[in-house]
Amino acid sequence: MNTNNAATCDSTVRRNLHRESIDLVPLRLPSFLGLIMGVLMLMAVGAPSAHALPQPLTYFDFENGDFTGTNGATIFNDAVTSFPGGAFPSGQVVITDGVGAPTGTSGHALDLRGNANLNAGSEYCFDLGAITTNGQFIIALSFDIASVGNGGQFDQLMVYWSTSTTFVHDTAHTVALSPFTIGTKTMTIAYQTVTGTFTIPSGTTSIYLQFCFVTTSGNNGNPNHTYLDNIGVTGDVPEPTTAISGALAAVGLFWRQRKRLSAIFCALLA
């Protein structure tokens, strides 16, 4: 027998191990209501945490005719896997008008053009940033894209994120896109909206995105274009309210039933 445990149990609440000898009196109404509330709050803990409204971090609609988005983010040629032609705008990446942009825009879009021979299977990338995260660490990306041409235009796209302009092409830094292909090879402009979500380490102050394009057959003619429009980045952070409320409810539930739990605990030690 553990004498320390015995000392904590009053002799009036000692019971043997038989269930019928434990004084399990019916719950009073306040206790019953408290029990129901506690169970409901504990169920809320298991549910997905609520989120605040997504906060816009940057947006590019290209209506201003340059490579600058909101909040100071810019688009620039990647230093390692760059488009031919040097600094933007170049012969391969320009902003054009009248390309059949999605409804609600005037037609300006970022145009990755096919007026140079690009090697099949090689990556050509541009970067976007710096994007100030403002304490958000669940990042969402969306954009409209259309790939048109004679079959030699870009037909693959990968997007990576980094905390600097040095990018690592691994799974942890890849933005999973849905849908994850650029689209059909056609001469008809048909935009599709692509989205992706990724999580960055808490406390990250800014990030960069890298868009890398590949043509599997080689870009071989002026009719080849890949249009991008309405590039938006938003941030979110889980609200702790649900988890905190559930924890407080659990504490309250056990506090209300402390005497009954103490009696059962002492009976098991008897």
State percent of the chain over pLDDT 90. Answer: 35
Dihedral (Cα; 226, 208, 103, 222), 10-degree rounding:
-10
pLDDT tens digits for 215-245?
887 776 777 888 899 999 999 986 654 445 5
More reliable by pLDDT, 251 or 225: 225
Locate the DSSP E strands across 163-265.
Answer: 177-178, 192-199, 206-214, 225-236
**Residue 12 structure tokens:** 């009036």
pTM of the predicted model over 0.75: no
As assigned by CATH, the class of the 55-236 domain is: mainly beta
Least confident of 126-135, 153-162, 212-221: 212-221
Task: Give the confidence band of 194 by pLDDT, cuts at 50, 70, 90.
Answer: very high
Domain boundary assignment for the chain: 55-236
The answer to whether residue 44 scores a pLDDT higher than 80 is: no
Task: Pick the most confident of 62-76, 104-118, 146-160, 218-232.
Answer: 62-76
User: What does the mean pLDDT of the chain come to?
Assistant: 76
Residues 6+ apart with CB under 8 A from 62: 95, 108, 109, 110, 229
Q: Cα dihedral sign for 12, 13, 15, 18? A: positive
Spatial contact of 140 and 233, defined as CB atoms under 8 Å apart: yes
For residue 64, which amino acid is it?
N
